[in-house]
Amino acid sequence: MTPAALVQQQLDAYNQRQLEPFLAVYADDVTVYRLPGAEPSLRGKAALGDFYATQRFALPGLHAELVKRIEFGNKVIDHEHVSGVAEQPFEVAAVYEIIDGKIQNVWFLAAD
């Protein structure tokens, strides 16, 4: 599966709020960062699953619309318009690094 296909699979599962298919593309030791912070906000697939099960997939209006995608090498950068998380929709950039066929690292950067 290409890096872009892996990222699309997790985006589709995110929008359908399907935890198992969402987690299937992540490495067991995935690390997630929320920029500008330098320290990881989440480490490991179990922590990622707990966060999305309780903080995202329980939200009835959750939806991420892909605005633009850039793929180069083992990196995929998505510009997304996210609704259902906060009172107002917001934009975010997500940088995914794929290693050995799984998403190993993710960096999120909010527009504001």
Q: Is 81 left (phi over 0), alpha (psi -120 to 50) or beta?
A: beta
- Per-residue pLDDT tens digits for 40-82: 999 999 999 999 999 999 999 999 999 999 999 999 999 999 9
Residue pointed to by tokens 């619309």: 65
pLDDT at 13: 98
pTM of the predicted protein model: 0.95
20 by DSSP, 3-state: which?
helix
Q: Cα 65 to chain center, whole Å?
A: 12
Please tell me whether residue 28 adopts helix, strand or coil conformation: strand
- pLDDT at residue number 68: 98
Alpha-carbon span 34 to 59, nearest angstrom? 20
CATH label, 3-110, candidates 1.10.1370.20, 3.40.120.10, 3.10.450.50, 2.40.30.30: 3.10.450.50
d(C-alpha 90, C-alpha 51), whole Å = 19
pLDDT given for residue 29 in this prediction: 98
